[in-house]
């Protein structure tokens, strides 16, 4: 079947369907709704271009801070030599 035959078959089928059930208006209406410029330029899933080259606050380098007291080097273990001497 050539593309022309396919197109003719689809046209005839659509025409027969329209005669049988009638033509229905579209279920949704498309109108000219003004949208913000950001939605017109790109889909909402597209990343936005940053306005500056500075990193956002949540990506700043962490400041030096004192280590927690539970850090391994601050923990003390019993000295086995002292235990032997006290026995």
Q: Is the pLDDT of residue 7 over 70?
A: yes
- In this prediction, residue 5 carries a pLDDT of 95
Q: What is the pLDDT of residues 18-59, one digit of tens each?
A: 888 887 777 787 777 666 555 555 566 767 776 777 777 777
Most confident of 9-18, 53-62, 77-86: 9-18
Q: How far from 74 is each of 66, 68, 69, 82, CA to CA, in Å? A: 12, 9, 6, 19
Q: How far apart are the first and last CA of the chain?
A: 102
- Cβ contact 33:43 at 8 Å: no
């Amino acid at each position: 079947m050539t593309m022309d035959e396919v197109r003719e078959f689809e046209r005839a089928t659509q025409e027969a369907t329209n005669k049988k059930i009638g033509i229905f208006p579209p279920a949704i209406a498309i109108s000219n709704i003004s949208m913000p410029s950001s939605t017109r330029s790109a889909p909402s899933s597209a990343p936005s271009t940053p306005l500056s080259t500075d990193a956002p606050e949540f990506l700043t380098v962490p400041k030096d801070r004192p280590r927690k007291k539970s850090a391994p080097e601050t923990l003390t273990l019993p000295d086995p030599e002292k235990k032997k001497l006290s026995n």
